[in-house]
Structure 1
Amino acid sequence: MRMRFGWIAALLLLAACGGEPEAPAGGGGDVGELLGGGETAGYARATGERAFTFPPDHGPHPDYRQEWWYFTGNLESEQGRRLGYQITLFRNAVAPEAPDLDSAWATNQVWMGHLAVTDPEGGRFVFDERFARGALDQAGARAAPFAAWLGPWRIEAAGEGAGESGPPPFRIRAAGEDFRIDLTLEPGKPPVLHGDGGLSQKGPEAGNASWYYSLPRLPTRGQVAIRGEQWSVTGASWLDREWSTSALGEGQTGWDWFALQLADGRDLMIYQIREAGGESAPQSYATWMDAEGEREPALDFTAIELEPVAYWQSPETGARYPVEWRLALPGENEAWTVRAVQPAQELRTFVTYWEGAVDVRAAGEAIGRGYLEMTGYADSSADSSRSSR
């Protein structure tokens, strides 16, 4: 698999002229395709060891080709209405250095953003996307005080702890055509490094990896509005941060990512990378986090039973997604059911994938909530009824 740069290059052709970039024509690609090999010369690679420092590592890492700030959360209104949200800002570079052009528009960076809200009671899933070049303050990120933005969509440090020490509260403000979020995420559990000290190997080749950490549980409050209805909400969010130059290897078609927040205070991240035949890649892994936020001893992915149980087929794209999973973990007395709060949570943006709120149950009882992301199904001709063990 190789990263397709066509859409990014098309946007950057606008770098020396005005106007807001439009979403490229001919969408329907897959997020996984953006993380293949491609040209790596001149970029930093995710290899060896590094010391993570916070809050600086909340900020950008421009030596790498791509990175993202990925927030998801399960919220509830004062009246008990369940809502979920996702906002992601992606930074992509098409060259290690900015072009040598006498123009304030010139840049080697293109940004893409996705915003979505799930309203299961109303049977609604609304989403939007934005593109911008990393010039003239249209999009960008900084470390201190932290901020990342894409046009009017902003994620930034705010209030107490917004300086250069300590984990900051995050303020998120973003709006789609007929919906918006305005949320404050308080400091919760400390950052947790995934993989080997934060080095998350995705493909078999050296450098096909990312630096990866999470803030797995951020107490959240604020406002969510959809089509004239507005709710005051509270709940918990999850931040995923990754940066890399190349990640997936040849023959890897996508992944299934679970971020689960349990009622007993524990959190679980599972990252299943799928190979072309449908089997789990050896680089798949999982991370347990205890109620205090400490990473528990390594969880052997091969000891996990992860099997799709029920499916939903998108009427728009034809992609068939597993929306209910059976999950059995070593040390747990009961197998869990991870089920979408509603099946239709497919983002039909320039890249097509499924990202949505889920419930976690054991022996028929609710034990947690979370988010599930599934990529590689929209373009795959493989039989999606396979076991994902």
Structure 2
Amino acid sequence: MDPVVIVGGGVVGASLAYHLRDDPRPVVLYERDALGSGTSGDSVAMFVWHQSAPDRSSHRLRSRSWDRYEPLIRDGTLSFERIGTLDVAETREKAESLREVAGTLREFGAEATFLEPDELAEHGLDPDFGCGAMATPADGYLDPSEIIRYFVGEADVAVETQTAVTDVRTRDGGVTGVETEDGVRSADAVVNAAGPWAPTVNDGVDVSLPLRHNLGPVVVLRTDDPFSLPFIQFGDGLYFRGEGRTQAFAGKYGADYEDAAPLDPTNARSVDHEFYLDIDARIREAVPRLSGAELGNEWVGVRTLTPDGVPIVGETDVSGYFVAAGMNGLGITLAPAVGEFLATAIRGGDVDAELRSYLSPTRFS
């Protein structure tokens, strides 16, 4: 029996492998490097109930993911640090908008409040900066390597690392297999969960989807004294996230879809000097807890974006060719729900009609 082939060994590919564990067909997962070495490993690994533009379908997906994560966190299989998110309002207009957003999120069932400026100091922000912030206190961070190790370990799946899929073979409008550096393997279905390499895999089957990339620089900040810090987001895309007792990540979300473009994920990239200046200025004006922090490690991640900010998940016009890409920086948050949804679709089971339409690769046609 020909296998289901998964291209990509990040959190999405690992989740799909796990949710296909009862499929009668064998499952083979190909990863061009090591498991979790791409976008999953470069992320700051947040699970967020926060949404800047509330969407009920997105909240439903987050709820499904949390239903999978929460028991694993409770029994100690996965680690989770609940630190909360603060979305900072730098103008009165933004503050009013975030008050409304918080109300909508509460209607969805998320925990969300608006904090006045004098309430921000206890969370590490200068109360004189901005006009308050929306707080989603149940947000927190996980460990991507733990997630991938659990999903792959519980799945009955053959894993081929250091093996790039170089082409997808088709005949009569359907997939027949994949080509790798080691040869050709036949396949009953192929799933593109290749993260930033997804557009390249799509090119092999002439599937055109509106995926673009942006760059997410991250630096590690270290202090001598212990401190705590939530996930703090600013309107210009800068963010900070506490990490343990004496570290924090500082990053930037990068270009929006309209200003983004396809990139070669294999190109080496370094953090530019201007980013360091932006981080230093923001610490001095808004995040006093990081005053005097020293720079540690740095990296630049590559995120995959879609025009509407919603992942592309489902079968394409090529029979047997599925896509799970364009996570828009929410791979950790959405991976369990995406894997469950797509596994059901691949098995030909009944999937939620609303989510099928919401995630469909053909919605851009």
Work out which structure has the larger RCO, using CA pairs closer than 8 Å and 6 or more positions apart in sequence: 2
Give the TM-score of the pair, scaled to structure 1: 0.23
Give the TM-score of the pair, scaled to structure 2: 0.24
Higher helix share: 2
> Larger Rg: 1 or 2?
2
Higher strand share: 1
